[in-house]
Chain A
Amino acid sequence: MNNVLEIIGGILILIGSVFLFLGALGILRMPDVYNRLQAGTKATTLGAMSLIMGVGFLEPTWMLKSIIIVVFIAFSNPISSHALARAMYKRKRYPIIKSEDKDMDAYREVFSQEEEEVKS
């Protein structure tokens, strides 16, 4: 029984550390703020949750606290990424889009309408 828990915990720790590394690599390689947010938040959330649950499996008496940390990360990380993306959009750093598919940025129209309403 103990051995099975150790194997599960080791696999989860390996998966988590690889995903954390890939998230950091995405931050270095991606061309744009929004792409960097995409790589740096989703991969990092999965990696941190997996690694902390792995430590919880390795040391079963710590399971409660690791579940608390995992739930907090699962709530807080998307919120901070959303706030950052909205702040960057309000600073008029629009995402890089090739000229032929302008419709991809669906928020642009809503945003410009909102700005006109604020001005008027």
Chain B
Amino acid sequence: MTYILYIAMSFLILGLIISAIRFVKGPTAGDRTVALDTLTIIGVAGLVLLAYVFERFIYMDVALVYAVLGFIGVIVIARYLEGAL
């Protein structure tokens, strides 16, 4: 079981690094926002996994609030890029 958690965590960290590269590099603002969305979702999944590893139930609440805030942030950035804000 421990090895499965190690493997999953390393995949998550690789995903975080790769999408952070796109976040820094991305030619337009849209690319950066897509990378931000992916970073948020991977962060939520990582928080839930950490909640299981550390056996803290409160981290699930943190993950839920982070998911809500990331969703609202992406929607606001999209409306701003559209010119409607």
Contact = CB atoms under 8 A, between A and B. Distances in A.
Interface residues of B, number: 46
Interface residues of A, number: 48
A1 B34 CA distance: 41
Chain B interface main SS type: helix
B44 A14 contact: no
Contact of B30 (A6, A25, A65, A87): A87
B41 A44 contact: yes
B8 A28 contact: no
Interface string A13-25: 1101110110111
Given A59-B52, A90-B83, A27 B45 contact: no
Contacts of A21: 11-12, 14-15, 18
B15 A10 contact: no
A73 B74 contact: no
Chain A interface main SS type: helix
B51 A91 contact: no
A93 B67 CA distance: 28
Contact of B45 (A51, A72, A91): A51
Contact of B15 (A23, A66, A69): A23
Given A59-B52, A72-B67, A40 B38 contact: yes
Given A28-B22, A69-B64, 5 more contacts: A18-B11, A40-B37, A51-B45, A55-B48, A80-B37
